[in-house]
Amino acid sequence: MHQLKYLLFILVGASSYGISASMIKRTIGAGFSAQESMGGQYLFGFLMLAVIFLFTKKTKMTIKQSIELLLVGMVVSLTSIFYALCLRSVPASLAVVLLFQFTWIGILIEAIYLKKRPSRAKLIAILLLWIGTLLSGGIGSQSFEWSQNIEGIVFGLLSAISFAIFFFISGKVGAEIPAIQRSTVISAGGLLLVFFTITPLQIMHETVEHGLWEYGILQGIFGIILPVVFFALGTPKIDSGTATIAGAAELPAAIFAAMLILGESISIYQTVGIVIIIIGVAVPQINLLDMKGKWRLLRG
């Protein structure tokens, strides 16, 4: 039961991150640059978390723990920056498919780290996720020319690599730190990296003069607070491979958000792909029907 609870935390965090894709696309569509979009997201996300942190449980952190969590935040920030750059030229529903490659990359990282072959259930899940990803990405549709959007595709794949690294290390760094405190430090690390691409003065100028705050607050909630906090609650309690697969929930969320927020259409291929992805996420948690006809929970 506890495992299921932590799995649900990751599902909520992943879904929130998927929804943020449409919000980033909306911000860029309003005339803001990718850097301004990320600046607003991380600044407002950090400020809101800092306020929440004032009223929550705290513990003393070592310098090593602080540095490690700041570095985790920078990895998250890299994911967001690459993702925003991808969204400049790629539809939100397809950009998240590129980011979605973090699933098999994360399983590969875990296998190399543990020097252990992934379980059969995880391999089946990855196969289903791949099929679902291809369908959700619009295979069979001629509406998107992949060859003409190489830059966006590269940035999307870079975001997948950094996101997979985040899932791998997030459950191993500062796991004993309270979730809100941990999330605040992580978001601070992300904000520090964003400041290398856009200065605080530029963010404040866009906020005051052009209303960046209207977009930054929502991005901060769905792109920083919800995913970082729920990942902080869930990832230390389950293995990184299972966490990575559960993170696949962001794709269905992103596609539905693109439809509702941006008015992007969803094809029958994408609908079938979403169903397959949901099945793929469930496979590591439930073993296939065994020879005795009994269902059992998977272990490992």
Question: What average pLDDT does the segment 106-118 reach?
Answer: 85
Sequence-separated (6 or more) residues with CB below 8 Å from residue 282 = none
Task: Check: CB of residue 109 under 8 Å from CB of residue 290.
Answer: no
Contact (Cβ atoms closer than 8 angstroms) between residue 84 and residue 28:
yes
Q: Span 268-281, mean pLDDT?
A: 81
Q: Does residue 16 have a pLDDT over 80?
A: yes
- Residue 191: pLDDT band by 50, 70, 90 thresholds? very high
Q: Determine the pLDDT at residue 146.
A: 59
Residue-level pLDDT at 139: 54
Contact 10, 235 (CB under 8 A): yes
- pLDDT exceeding 90 applies to what percent of the chain? 24
Q: What share of the chain is helix, strand, coil (3-state, %, to 5)?
A: 75, 0, 25
Query: What pLDDT band is residue 10 in, cutting at 50, 70 and 90?
Result: confident
Report the distance separating Cα 84 and Cα 263, nearest Å.
19
What's the pLDDT band for 292 if we cut at 50, 70, 90?
A: very low
pLDDT band at 101 (very low <50, low <70, confident <90, very high): confident
pLDDT at 92: 65
Q: What confidence category does residue 284 fall into, taking pLDDT thresholds of 50, 70 and 90?
A: low
Checking if the pLDDT of 49 tops 90, the result is: yes
Delimit the domains of the chain by residue range.
2-285
Higher pLDDT, residue 221 or 278: 221
Residue 186 pLDDT > 70:
yes
Query: What is the Cα–Cα distance from 299 to 286, expressed in whole angstroms?
Result: 9
- Between helices 212-220 and 200-210, what is the axis angle to 10°? 120
The 10 Å Cβ neighbour count of residue 98 is 23
What average pLDDT does range 119-137 have in this prediction? 80
pLDDT-wise least confident of 63-67, 90-94, 146-150, 289-293: 289-293
The mean per-residue pLDDT over the stretch 89-113 comes to 80
Name the percent of the chain lying above pLDDT 70. 89
223-240 pLDDT, tens digit per residue, is 899 988 888 888 877 777
Q: Is pLDDT above 90 for 192?
A: yes
- In this prediction, residue 72 carries a pLDDT of 92
Lowest pLDDT segment from 46-50, 139-143, 153-157, 160-164: 139-143
Could you read off the pLDDT of 170-184 as tens digits, one per residue? 878 888 888 899 999
pTM over 0.75: yes
